[in-house]
Chains A and B, each alone.
Chain A
Amino acid sequence: MDQDIIEMLDQYFRNELSQERRREIDERLKNDASFKGEAERHFAFLQTLENAGRRAALKNSFDLIHQHIPADERKPVVVPSPGFRRFWPAIAVAASVALLSVVTTVLTMQNVSETESKYIDLRRNVEQIQRSQKAQKAILDDIASKKADPIAASYTGTGFMVSGSGYIATSYHVIRDADSVYIQNERFGILKAIVVRTDQVNDVAILKIDDPAFTPSGQLPFVITSAQSDLGAGVFTLGFPREEIVYGEGTISAATGYKQNVTAYQIAVPVNPGNSGGPLVNQTGEVVGMISGIQTEALGAAFAVKSNILLDVINNIPADSLGKSIQLSRYNRLKNHDRTQQVKRLRDYVFMVKVYNQR
């Protein structure tokens, strides 16, 4: 291949060509088999060269940090003793706790400009917290004692009742990969639920309480509105970023969500992992949306699925998978209450959604 072609392919490889030129080459690659062969060999070679460069750079950086690894005790190591094996799990756990703390500090300290902004689901990874706590406990306590811990949920999120007959709305990403789902709050206690509908695209899931301990609670005191909310409208949410129900308030800050998604609002409401699936409620006590995620790049940018999308999902549940169609409440009984009264009424219908999986 002559120099001009190499030059052109180099620019192609480095993604420096204009769209037009790129398309031209793509076209030629498609139609000219021998050109394609040569180009592919060239690219493969460049890839090998690039990898070799990266390997050298990695080894250099590894050599540098290697100095910070404490040297071995220099004892001649024989076959690992059974005693060592017994303690190995604890050592491994201790090590993973160390990395966990490093990862989290690095993540929180990370330079935000370095990567494109990310969208983060707000389900709470219980395992993450639990494991580090458990690990510390295990190291401090007697390692050998095998007390059975009560089974802890793998993930938690928030959900809220949309119908007195026992239907709960939550985020799809909260119940994704679930083996079993339980909901819990002060009024109803712990109830088993099943997933009856998911909408992955809009990040909505509908659960149904499937527990003999549950008695249907009649009409709900609040409604889910199908109207769009205005920019600047005051809103609040209730959710379970921790074991305790937490209130947060703010405003609707944009009529579209992450990446101009028209099915969501951007909201300025402080939310945390665990808030996913929580109701977003306006001043008159109507549900206007459901919390779904945050954007890492912009501080305070959170998103909520619009309530009309939520209603669509609920209304599209085929009657046969339900037995009978969902009865939504029509009358907003929170309208003339002040915020504290609204919260007091609402919190009975907001649940912690606990997801268990055996992975």
Chain B
Amino acid sequence: MHYIDELIVSEIRLKNDRILHELYKLHFPMIRRLVMANSGSEHEAKDIYQDAIIAFYERCQQPDFQLSCKISTYLYAVSRRLWLKRLNEKKWTPMSIHEADVFPDIDTEMVRVDENEANMGRMQLALSQLGEPCNSVLLDFYFNKFTMEEITGKFGYTNTDTAKNQKYKCLQRLKKLFFAK
């Protein structure tokens, strides 16, 4: 694979956000052209593109991930599939653009992408139903990796034990909401 693409993947693995952002800026026009040439709006292009680039980002984080095609090919092929799906949902005519740029394992990749999307959708919904401050407590602890002391301070709990207690209760509620449907 291309050296530069491998370099980008390894930088993204090291959580180099600047590279990720530059990558984002670089390939958006390509996806915008694709979506807008196929009865989509710029806003829809942005939605699709963000999902594709997040899928790419998440793949990069997996230790077994091996880039099997150019990054632009990955983004194009995944975006195209996502947009096709969106069009199907809208019962619009499928795209006229033929599949020029694909990589061999696109089908398994799309299964993975769709699964992730569904899972994430459920989690986002559960989080929004959970409300504050639970939402922030959990994300601060499990995603932002704050310490219990930091959380105690930030949310004004009397001590870390109270904070731990709250965190536990919030997590139980979130699990209930997530597994409800």
Contact = CB atoms under 8 A, between A and B. Distances in A.
B29 interface: yes
Contacts of B42: 71-72
21 contacts: A45-B175, A48-B178, A49-B123, A49-B143, A51-B116, A56-B124, A59-B50, A65-B21, A65-B25, A69-B25, A71-B42, A72-B29, A77-B36, A77-B37, A79-B96, A102-B19, A103-B11, A106-B16, A107-B11, A131-B4, A359-B1
Given A59-B54, A80-B33, A100-B4, A66 B22 contact: no
Contacts of A233: none
Given A58-B57, A69-B28, A106-B19, A52 B123 contact: yes
Contacts of A56: 124
Q: How large is the interface on B (under 10, 10 to 19, 20 to 34, 35 or more residues)?
A: 35 or more
B145 A14 contact: yes
B123 to A, nearest CB: 4
B58 A128 contact: no
Contacts of B22: 99, 102-103, 106
Nearest to A106: B18
Interface in A86-137: 92, 95-96, 98-100, 102-103, 106-107, 110, 114-115, 125, 127-128, 131
Contact of A50 (B26, B37, B143): B143
Nearest to A109: B18
A54 interface: yes
A53 B25 contact: no
A106 to B, nearest CB: 5
4 closest A-B pairs by beta carbon, nearest first, are A53-B143, A52-B123, A102-B22, A77-B37
Contact of A62 (B14, B53, B138): B53
A329 B175 CA distance: 74
A33 B16 CA distance: 39
Given A78-B37, A103-B11, A48 B21 contact: no
B97 to A, nearest CB: 8
B52 to A, nearest CB: 11
Contacts of B37: 77-80
A142 interface: no
A103 B24 contact: no
Interface residues of A, number: 49
A55 B53 contact: no
A20 to B, nearest CB: 21
B23 A6 contact: no
Interface centre among B2, B21, B33 (most CB of A within 10 A): B21
Contact of B8 (A49, A54, A95, A103): A103
A102 B7 CA distance: 12
B142 A49 contact: yes
Contacts of A68: 25
A66 B25 CA distance: 7
B17 interface: yes
A115 B12 CA distance: 12
Given A7-B164, A106-B19, A69 B120 contact: no
Given A71-B42, A92-B72, A52 B124 contact: yes
Interface of B: 1-4, 7-8, 11, 14, 16-19, 21-29, 32-33, 36-37, 42, 46, 50, 53-54, 57-58, 72, 96, 116, 119-120, 123-124, 127, 138-139, 141-145, 164-165, 168, 171, 174-175, 178
Contacts of B124: 52, 55-56
Contacts of B53: 62
Contacts of B24: 62, 65-66
Given A102-B22, A103-B19, A3 B168 contact: yes
A19 interface: no
Contact of A66 (B23, B28, B139): B28
A49 B7 contact: no
B123 A66 contact: no
A152 interface: no
A23 B122 CA distance: 34
A112 to B, nearest CB: 12
Contacts of B23: 99
A46 interface: yes
A56 B54 CA distance: 10
Nearest to A101: B22
A61 interface: yes
A64 B32 CA distance: 17
A95 B23 CA distance: 10
Contacts of B138: 49
Interface in A224-279: none
A98 B16 CA distance: 17
Nearest to A85: B100
Nearest to B123: A52
Nearest to B1: A359
Contacts of A57: 143
Contacts of A71: 42
A51 B124 CA distance: 10
Nearest to B171: A6
